[in-house]
Amino acid sequence: MDLSMLKPGNRARITSIGVAGPLKRRLMDMGVLVGEEIKLVKIAPLGDPVEVDIKSYRLSLRKSEAQAIGVEVLDV
Amino acid sequence: MSDSNTTVIARKPSAAVSTGKLRVAFAGNPNSGKSTLINAIAGTRLHVGNWPGVTVEMKEASFTHNGHRIDLVDLPGTYSLSPYSQEEVIAADYLAKEKPDVIVNVVDATNLERNLYLTVQLLELGIPTVIALNIHDEAEKKGYRIDTKGIEKSLGVTVVATSAVRKTGLDELLDAVVSTADDPERHKPHDVSYGPDIDQAANNVLERLGSELAPVPDEYPLRWLAIRLVEQDERISGLFDERTVRIVQDATEHLRSAHGSDLESLVADARYAVANGVAHQVLKKPATAKVELTEKIDSVVLNRFWGIPIFLAAMWFLFKLTFDISTPFMDWMDTVIGVVSAWAGAGLAAIGASEWISSLVIDGIIAGVGTVFVFLPIILAMMFFVTLLEGTGYMARAAFIMDRAMRSIGLHGKSFIPLLMGFGCNVPSIYATRTLENPKDKVLTALLVPYMSCGARLPVYVLFTAAFFATNQGTVLWSLYVLGIVVAMIMGLIFKRTLFRGEPAPAFVMELPPYRMPSFKSLMIHTWEKGRHFVVKAGTWILLASIVVWVLYSLPWGAEKHDTLLGRTGQAVAPVLAPLGFGDWQAGASLVTGVVAKEVVVSTMGEIYAPAAVGEEPAEEEAVPTFGEGVTEIATGLVTAVGDSAMGVLSSVGITSIAVEEPGDDGLLGSLKGTFSPLSAFAFMVFVLLYVPCMIVLVAMRQEFGSWKWAGVSVATTFAAAWVVTFIVYQGGSLLGIGV
């Protein structure tokens, strides 16, 4: 299960981050860390990117970036 | 982006401390209200420039507070001090090498944990730090209770609650800076602990480096260096030789065996753990959070169905507004220049200046300066709105909405606004590419801006459609705008596969900050600085280019148009243009002058196509206005402009904003009809649409990208695109026998 599969409103916990290099660093700096709780808030009108809530702020990610973030859903 | 260039900031540390000057660096997250805070503190004393060698904005100010001289530097807003973006490298390098006397860390009180993540990294540097707990009023409104003393106790720094909007805490902040600098030892921040394993590894690294006499660049704080080495910061590792890197590898062996090889994540986790710990300890949130304004607005403007229509309508409205506001002032600038030219002409005649000197002054120098000032209103208006979009947080939403569409041609969501603005004027669009973070995105957007058909190209279309397509003017116009967009898309794909081939797509990962109203003062300072920069930096180049064109146009003095340098240039380029359907020297010469600004094509054509009909004499001598008349004309012009501009704000529909003057020159229409066929006329318009950006755009590119390189690439690629597309249009049309 990865972040891009969540539906708006779903909460999940990050289990893995499958990227390396600058993108990984950027994600870490923005607080996207393994073990962190994340909520999918919105999907952009054209279907991509997505908006998530993490560390009580709003972050947007492209679906391709969200696919690299493994999650387990907390509630549906 | 792991640029191993370590000398981004070449400035030597000044002898500030000894002379009683305090060097204070402001660091903080983007959207932490840092700019507004600095504007509130330093106001008009701010000097805006660029960091050496890069196009990242640097703000500085010098002022006195309670008898202490303070030199303030604003570091680029960053989430971290990682070496992955220009901004981060600049901030990290400045802090580590220049070692300011005090760091003011601007922290968004409404977003404590993520902001403290940067704080923790700043504290690693061991520089006395003061935290400005900013946007404190908003946090209170949300019901947050933040124990500032608690932060002070756990981090060892002074904390001052500030609100830039309400102007509270500003004096207290500067007081704290001064008293911190007075006694730096007492205000040294605590060494942040990342737990025994990481701390031990950092100590190991330091010990091993010391005992094995590895050369260590001495300008960096040691503990900071050690932690950066432990987390395998590529840029810092790159400063050391291989032996040292091996020593570090050895020294972190234990850490690796205990926690796996991903030390980067380990250290980031540890930093966040510290930030989280502090935030938990000091922050009390109300049990039930209110549905926030930001959420309410977003549920409308980012709605699946209405999001795009609302966005497009808003952009169209803003676009209209920009031009309705600035066009009257641009016309007024024209009036001013007309009056000044007339005065100058009379003055020069009075002192007996020869004809060519007065031509040089009026048509070369004053016209050149005039060009700079005519562009000023639209640049100010557009920069104002772009700054407003960014300051309110809507720019990030625009990127969110448009990213999917823009990405298909290799662009970023934020590219949309500069490109859209390009339909009005390409020049501010180039400046607006600054809203993009990644240098590659900036350059690519700037390279595509010239394909957006700007207002200056319209007079050319109007002239030619009036002559050849009077019955379907609208369709022809429309087809040109669409063609520009299509060519931009094709060029985007080509650039993606050539110039930027192999480069990974820059990460999108972008904060959607809460909506906020930026302070008016902050907006004005920013807008004014942009305008000032344009005049000062671009002005010189534009003046130079204007003189060059005057030389082409006028020399040899008194020669027939055909034999001037311009005429000869026209003849020289004619063979290149012949396959496109307009191989006469007049067309070539008009296109050459069009590089100044595209509408100049029309006036040049007016002069060189219909000389006999209109008469060579420089029209009837216009009466030179007296000083009083001139001043009156300028003043009434300004009043009219303000009025029109205000009306422009009110009128909200219709495309009338871009003033189109109908070419009243029947002589010119006649000669054009004699020279062009409908097909070659259309081909000529296509060429004008696509060929090289005007010199002002090129100067703006040089200014934004620090060298002529990308301006050169732009000239080469637009010219190539224009030639190929026009060739296809003309030759294809000829083959099919359309409009020949």
- Best CA proximity match to B105, nearest among B9, B180, B55: B180
- Pairwise CB contact (< 8 Å): B403 & A62: yes
Residue pair B54/B706 in contact by the 8 Å Cβ criterion: yes
What are the residue ranges of CATH 1.10.287.1770 in chain B? Answer: 196-284
What pLDDT is stored for residue B437 in this prediction? Answer: 82
Fold category of A3-75 in CATH: SH3 type barrels. (2.30.30)
What pLDDT is stored for residue B651 in this prediction? Answer: 61
Q: Is the pLDDT of residue B249 over 50?
A: yes
What pLDDT is stored for residue B721 in this prediction? Answer: 96
User: In chain B, which residue's Cα lies nearest the Cα of A47?
Assistant: B404
Residue pair B593/B604 in contact by the 8 Å Cβ criterion: yes
**Considering chain A, what is the average pLDDT of its residues?**
92
User: What is the rounded distance in angstroms from the CA atom of residue B536 to the CA atom of residue B375?
Assistant: 13
- Pairwise CB contact (< 8 Å): B265 & A17: yes
Closest CB to A59: pick one of B305, B401, B511.
B511
Q: Which residues of A touch B404 (CB under 8 A)?
A: 44, 46-49
Distance from CA of B400 to the nearest CA of A (A): 6
What pLDDT is stored for residue B398 in this prediction? Answer: 92
Over residues B686-715, the mean pLDDT reads 92
Q: Is the pLDDT of residue B215 over 80?
A: no
Amino acid in the structure at residue B205: V
Residues in CB range of B14: below 8 A, 6 or more apart: B21, B23, B71
Closest CB to B404: pick one of A34, A47, A59.
A47
Q: Is the pLDDT of residue B404 over 50?
A: yes
User: What is the rounded distance in angstroms from the CA atom of residue A25 to the CA atom of residue B231?
Assistant: 11
Q: Both tokens of residue B19?
A: 């002379």
Q: Which residues of A touch B303 (CB under 8 A)?
A: 45
* B3 touches A at CB < 8 Å: no
* B237 touches A at CB < 8 Å: no
User: In chain A, which residue's Cα lies nearest the Cα of B2?
Assistant: A22
pLDDT above 90 covers a percentage of chain B that reads 37
- Pairwise CB contact (< 8 Å): B509 & A27: yes
User: In chain A, which residue's Cα lies nearest the Cα of B289?
Assistant: A56
Q: Return the axis-axis angle of helices B709-736 and B678-690, rounded to nearest 10°.
A: 160
Residues in CB range of B68: below 8 A, 6 or more apart: B20, B22, B178, B181
Residue pair B432/B443 in contact by the 8 Å Cβ criterion: no
| Domain edges within chain A | 3-75
- Pairwise CB contact (< 8 Å): B508 & A25: no
> Domain B196-284 is of which CATH architecture?
Orthogonal Bundle (1.10)
- Best CA proximity match to A58, nearest among B200, B648, B79, B396: B396
Residues in CB range of B348: below 8 A, 6 or more apart: B357, B358, B361, B362
Residue pair B107/B116 in contact by the 8 Å Cβ criterion: yes
What pLDDT is stored for residue B657 in this prediction? Answer: 39
Residues of A with CB under 8 A from a CB of B: 17, 21-31, 33-34, 42-49, 51, 55-62, 65
Closest CB to B509: pick one of A26, A45, A47.
A26
Residue pair B545/B596 in contact by the 8 Å Cβ criterion: yes
Residue pair B460/B476 in contact by the 8 Å Cβ criterion: no
Residues in CB range of B173: below 8 A, 6 or more apart: B41, B104, B130, B132, B160, B162
Q: Which residues of A touch B440 (CB under 8 A)?
A: none
**Considering chain B, what is the average pLDDT of its residues?**
85
Over residues B3-10, the mean pLDDT reads 37
What are the residue ranges of CATH 3.40.50.300 in chain B? Answer: 17-182
Is residue A1 classed exposed, middle or buried when 0-12, 13-18 and 19+ CB atoms within 10 A define those classes?
Answer: exposed
Residue pair B324/B525 in contact by the 8 Å Cβ criterion: no
Pick the residue with more confidence: A1 or B627? Answer: A1
Q: Is the pLDDT of residue B262 over 90?
A: no
Task: Please name the residue that has the structure tokens 């309508």.
Answer: B313
Q: Both tokens of residue B215?
A: 């050369």
Distance from CA of A11 to the nearest CA of B (A): 17
- Pairwise CB contact (< 8 Å): B508 & A28: no
What pLDDT is stored for residue B112 in this prediction? Answer: 94
Question: What tens digit of pLDDT does each residue of B157-178 get?
Answer: 999 999 988 889 999 999 999 9
User: In chain A, which residue's Cα lies nearest the Cα of B510?
Assistant: A60
- Pairwise CB contact (< 8 Å): B509 & A30: yes
Is residue B295 classed exposed, middle or buried when 0-12, 13-18 and 19+ CB atoms within 10 A define those classes?
Answer: middle
Over residues B602-622, the mean pLDDT reads 59
Closest CB to B79: pick one of A30, A56, A58.
A30
Give the torsion through C-alpha atoms of B252, B257, B259, B261, to 10 deg. Answer: 70
Closest CB to A58: pick one of B307, B407, B511.
B511
Q: Is B152 helix (H, G, I), strand (E, B) or coil?
A: helix
* B114 touches A at CB < 8 Å: yes
Q: Is the pLDDT of residue B75 over 60?
A: yes
Sign of CA dihedral B13, B14, B16, B19: positive
Distance from CA of B80 to the nearest CA of A (A): 6
- Best CA proximity match to B319, nearest among B417, B390, B436: B417
Among B82-91, B116-125, B620-629, which is the least confidently predicted range? Answer: B620-629
Q: What angle do CA B32, A24, B419 make, to 5 degrees?
A: 60
Over residues B389-396, the mean pLDDT reads 90
Beta strands in B508-632 (DSSP E): 510-511
- Look up residue B188 and give its DSSP letter: P
Distance from CA of A64 to the nearest CA of B (A): 10
Distance from CA of A68 to the nearest CA of B (A): 12
* B117 touches A at CB < 8 Å: yes
What pLDDT is stored for residue B178 in this prediction? Answer: 93
Residue pair B199/B271 in contact by the 8 Å Cβ criterion: no
Q: Which CATH class for the B17-182 domain?
A: alpha beta
- Pairwise CB contact (< 8 Å): B509 & A23: yes
What pLDDT is stored for residue B473 in this prediction? Answer: 83
Over residues B575-590, the mean pLDDT reads 90
Distance from CA of B82 to the nearest CA of A (A): 8
- Best CA proximity match to B304, nearest among A43, A71, A70: A43
User: In chain B, which residue's Cα lies nearest the Cα of A49?
Assistant: B400
What is the Cα B526 distance to its own chain's centre?
Answer: 11
Pick the residue with more confidence: B623 or B170? Answer: B170
Q: How many CA atoms lie within 13 A of B73 on its CB side?
A: 23
Among A13-27, B11-25, B193-207, B465-479, which is the least confidently predicted range? Answer: B11-25
Distance between the two ends of chain B, CA-based, in angstroms? 53
Residue pair B230/B255 in contact by the 8 Å Cβ criterion: yes
User: What is the rounded distance in angstroms from the CA atom of residue B655 to the CA atom of residue B317?
Assistant: 11
- Pairwise CB contact (< 8 Å): A57 & B304: no
- Pairwise CB contact (< 8 Å): B508 & A65: yes
What are the CA-CA distances from residue B2 to residues B7, B85, B89, B93, B269 (Å)? 13, 8, 9, 13, 22
**Among residues 248-267 of chain B, which lie with CB inside 8 Å of chain A?**
264-265
* ipTM over 0.85 threshold: yes
Task: Please name the residue that has the structure tokens 């303000």.
Answer: B642
Which residue out of A36, A38, A40, A46 would a mutagenesis test of the B interface target, given it has the greatest number of B Cβ atoms within 10 Å?
A46
Q: Is the pLDDT of residue B270 over 50?
A: yes
For the ranges B291-295, B329-333, B480-484, the one whose mean pLDDT is highest: B480-484
Closest CB to A49: pick one of B294, B308, B508.
B508
User: What is the rounded distance in angstroms from the CA atom of residue B200 to the CA atom of residue B211?
Assistant: 16
User: What is the rounded distance in angstroms from the CA atom of residue A17 to the CA atom of residue A32?
Assistant: 8
- Pairwise CB contact (< 8 Å): B307 & A57: no
User: What is the rounded distance in angstroms from the CA atom of residue B657 to the CA atom of residue B327?
Assistant: 7
Confidence of residue B426 (pLDDT cuts 50, 70, 90): very high
* B300 touches A at CB < 8 Å: no
Q: Is the pLDDT of residue B653 over 50?
A: no
- Pairwise CB contact (< 8 Å): A28 & B264: yes
Beta strands in B263-304 (DSSP E): 283-284
- Pairwise CB contact (< 8 Å): B264 & A48: no
What pLDDT is stored for residue B213 in this prediction? Answer: 66
Residue pair B91/B129 in contact by the 8 Å Cβ criterion: no
Q: Which residues of B touch A42 (CB under 8 A)?
A: 298, 302
Distance from CA of B11 to the nearest CA of A (A): 28
Over residues A3-12, the mean pLDDT reads 95
Q: Is the pLDDT of residue A27 over 90?
A: yes
Confidence of residue B1 (pLDDT cuts 50, 70, 90): very low
Question: What tens digit of pLDDT does each residue of B301-315 get?
Answer: 999 899 999 999 998
- Best CA proximity match to B226, nearest among B361, B124, B101, B325: B124
Reduced to 3 DSSP states, what percent helix, strand and coil does chain A have, rounded to the nearest 5?
20, 40, 35
Is residue B422 classed exposed, middle or buried when 0-12, 13-18 and 19+ CB atoms within 10 A define those classes?
Answer: buried
Task: Please name the residue that has the structure tokens 């603005």.
Answer: B421
Q: Is the peptide bond before A49 cis (omega within 30 degrees of 0)?
A: yes
Q: What angle do CA A14, A17, A20 make, to 5 degrees?
A: 160
Over residues B504-515, the mean pLDDT reads 87
Which residue out of B269, B298, B400, B516 would a mutagenesis test of the A interface target, given it has the greatest number of A Cβ atoms within 10 Å?
B400
Q: Return the axis-axis angle of helices B473-497 and B458-468, rounded to nearest 10°.
A: 130
